[in-house]
Structure 1
Amino acid sequence: MRDLVIPICRLEKLFEDCLWAEGPAYMAGADCVVWSDIPNNRILQWVEGLGTRPLVSVSNYANGNTIDREGRLVSCEHQSRSVVRREHNGSRTVLASHFEGKRLNSPNDIVVRSDGSIWFTDPTYGILTDYEGERAEPEQEGCNVYRLDPETGELRAVVRSMVKPNGLAFSPDEDRLYVSDTGVSHLDGGPHHILAFDLNEQGLPENERVFAEISPGVPDGFRVDEFGNIWSSSGNGVQVFSPEGDFLGRIAVPEAVSNLTFGGPKNNRLFITATTSLYAIYVGVRGATRREVL
């Protein structure tokens, strides 16, 4: 862990006053961080030296966010039960809302692969109560991981075996997909682990296996650094695991961590959403970046 953290760097609290902070994403073009305050139905934006402002005042209870290859914000909305993209002109495009003719549950977390495909998880958290969305009966038979081709609109369920799929990320070479299952939140003895999948020649996940278990708390969201280490949320801070699944250490955070992302001009600043707040700390590595597609 000594090579991953910088002893003289301290954890900074950049903002508080959220009800449940989630889904941080770094927008390199604007050098800012955006994240969701789900129960307050808003997406916030933090800029160095300027502070925080609402980016989207009515977010449809957005949760996970990511940035696509064109620098556009792509979000998972609980209330609309859809994945949406915010265009450069400010308009909103719905990318996915139904699968096999039925409404999605409540898209949760999201990533974009180098080929432009959008991958997201779809547990039922946003339709269980009115606190983070709108209570409703699920129409899907299960909680799946999906792959969306934004060019054709094809939506494919690529993982159907999980209880409550949540965070997800790719290895630096994009040959491996990681997805967390936080089913323990509503199932006694349920999973609180990160699964690993190999991606076959068609780019589809196979060879499912447990990569690491998270305790206390759950692996709500996580990111991968340039060396393939996993930086995961937990109940006692950010827990770090090697590519082989060995526990390396943790960064203590005074609130339960929900999610995190790498950012900053050098991609070496870790931005952390934790319950009511946004935190940041400089670390000794850079976040993994998408490969260039020729």
Structure 2
Amino acid sequence: MIEDIYEYADPRFRNLTLPNTQLERLYDGCRWAEGPVWFNDGGYLLWSDIPNQRILRWTPEQGVSVYRAASNFANGNTRDQQGRLVTCEHGTRRVTRTEPDGTITVLADAFDGKRLNSPNDVVVHRDGGVWFTDPTYGILSDYEGYQAEPEQAGRNVYRIDPHSGEVVCVADDFVQPNGLAFAPDGQTLYIADSARTHDPAAPHHIRAMEVVDGRWLGKSRVLAQIEPGIPDGLRVDVQGNIWTSAGDGIQCFDAQGTLLGKILLPEKVANLTFGGPRRNRLFITANTSLYLIHVAVAGAQYP
């Protein structure tokens, strides 16, 4: 059943959405919008416009401005426990942190003595560990990075130790790992495999993986197959539901993998994040645009 922009697959989705709200387009000047992250202490959103090599900033009062030009084809963004911006850069094939004075600290640019592929998305665990995915999208062409041959044997998921800075591979059985998000209790990590972008027979699903001692990944299961399109970025709300990008908009699943419903958008969605003072505003990066819609549930505040 479709009502306006909502498609209800399960009655529970009605309790997560606000049918009297409107989908708002906040900006439409991007080439490929990605990596939204909300700064509640500053009241603004940052997101990446990858091919245009910039990170943009939106505030309700001032609209959109350029936060960082020459962004090294920045993609995924998050915040660490100290509120600092952590960014995946395709162009430099590294994960960086922006310090309070604006200087850049490199957190990871290699594994086992070889350059990373092109870090894509990043999250921070409650223990301060930085987890990121490393597919090859940023080195496939000169559009979202710089074309190059991969040096890593696989497309892996990594963890950066918050104390030693050591980079450890925590998953090496993905084809193209992409978006990732922790469950509210930190005991499960959801990871998208978006390999279908270049092979129709390749994975287009989200896996739920057990987090062991906050440092490793254990048991794994496929949470959901995404149709149409692929899973790219994803987020989790305080109830444990998973909100993921898809070819028709945003799809929402419960923690068992049951589809609850969809928010339909006119563009293919790349990523999303919860924001606003109560974390009940869903900011959506979709192709050329940044969208906003209010929902009836708060996003899990992680970190």
TM-score, length basis structure 1: 0.97
1:273 correspondence with 2:300: no
Instruction: Give the Cα–Cα distance (whole angstroms) in 2 for the partners of residues 127 and 278 of structure 1.
Output: 25
Residue matched to 2:28: 16
Residue matched to 1:189: 201
1:141 correspondence with 2:153: yes
Task: Judge conservation of contact 2:33–2:290 (CA < 8 Å) in 1.
Answer: yes
Residue 290 (structure 1) shift: 3.2
Residue matched to 1:90: 102
What SS does the corresponding residue of 1:206 show, helix, strand or coil?
Answer: strand
**Residue correspondence of structure 1 range 200-219 to structure 2 within 5 A:** 200-201=212-213, 203-219=215-231
Instruction: Give the Cα–Cα distance (whole angstroms) in 1 for the partners of residues 79 and 60 of structure 2.
Output: 19
Instruction: Give the Cα–Cα distance (whole angstroms) in 2 for the partners of residues 74 and 31 of structure 1.
Output: 18
Instruction: Give the Cα–Cα distance (whole angstroms) in 1 for the partners of residues 124 and 76 of structure 2.
Output: 12
**Residue correspondence of structure 1 range 91-240 to structure 2 within 5 A:** 91-201=103-213, 203-240=215-252
Instruction: Give the Cα–Cα distance (whole angstroms) in 2 for the partners of residues 86 and 290 of structure 1.
Output: 18
Task: Judge conservation of contact 1:126–1:134 (CA < 8 Å) in 2.
Answer: yes
Identity in percent = 55
Residue 150 (structure 1) shift: 3.3
Instruction: Give the Cα–Cα distance (whole angstroms) in 2 for the partners of residues 200 and 21 of structure 1.
Output: 33
Residue matched to 1:7: 19
Instruction: Give the Cα–Cα distance (whole angstroms) in 2 for the partners of residues 58 and 90 of structure 1.
Output: 14
Task: Judge conservation of contact 2:17–2:295 (CA < 8 Å) in 1.
Answer: yes
Residue 202 (structure 1) shift: 5.3
| Equivalent of 1:259 in 271, 274, 288 | 271
Residue matched to 1:66: 78
Q: Which amino acid aligns with 1:277?
A: S
What SS does the corresponding residue of 1:2 show, helix, strand or coil?
Answer: helix
What SS does the corresponding residue of 2:196 show, helix, strand or coil?
Answer: helix
TM-score, length basis structure 2: 0.95
Residue 277 (structure 1) shift: 0.3
Residue matched to 2:7: none
| Equivalent of 2:89 in 77, 80, 94 | 77
1:246 correspondence with 2:258: yes
What SS does the corresponding residue of 2:15 show, helix, strand or coil?
Answer: coil
Task: Judge conservation of contact 1:269–1:283 (CA < 8 Å) in 2.
Answer: yes
Residue matched to 2:53: 41
Q: Would you say how many aligned residue pairs link Structure 1 and Structure 2?
A: 291
What SS does the corresponding residue of 1:290 show, helix, strand or coil?
Answer: coil
Instruction: Give the Cα–Cα distance (whole angstroms) in 2 for the partners of residues 209 and 216 of structure 1.
Output: 20
Task: Judge conservation of contact 2:161–2:167 (CA < 8 Å) in 1.
Answer: yes
| Equivalent of 1:288 in 270, 275, 300 | 300
Write out per-residue CA displacement over residues 80-119 of structure 1, whole angstroms, 9 at most, x where no aligned residue: 0000011110111111000000000000000011111000
Instruction: Give the Cα–Cα distance (whole angstroms) in 2 for the partners of residues 97 and 55 of structure 1.
Output: 23
Instruction: Give the Cα–Cα distance (whole angstroms) in 1 for the partners of residues 114 and 243 of structure 2.
Output: 34
Instruction: Give the Cα–Cα distance (whole angstroms) in 1 for the partners of residues 280 and 243 of structure 2.
Output: 13
Instruction: Give the Cα–Cα distance (whole angstroms) in 1 for the partners of residues 73 and 215 of structure 2.
Output: 31
Q: Which amino acid aligns with 1:18?
A: C
CA RMSD after TM alignment: 0.9
Q: Which amino acid aligns with 2:291?
A: Y
Task: Judge conservation of contact 2:35–2:48 (CA < 8 Å) in 1.
Answer: yes
Residue 140 (structure 1) shift: 0.1
Task: Judge conservation of contact 1:95–1:150 (CA < 8 Å) in 2.
Answer: no
Instruction: Give the Cα–Cα distance (whole angstroms) in 2 for the partners of residues 64 and 276 of structure 1.
Output: 16
Residue 8 (structure 1) shift: 1.0
Instruction: Give the Cα–Cα distance (whole angstroms) in 1 for the partners of residues 115 and 211 of structure 2.
Output: 27
Task: Judge conservation of contact 2:187–2:214 (CA < 8 Å) in 1.
Answer: no
Residue 195 (structure 1) shift: 0.4
Task: Judge conservation of contact 1:221–1:232 (CA < 8 Å) in 2.
Answer: yes
Task: Judge conservation of contact 2:235–2:244 (CA < 8 Å) in 1.
Answer: yes
Runs (5+) with no aligned partner, structure 2: 1-12
Moved more, 223-232 or 148-157: 148-157
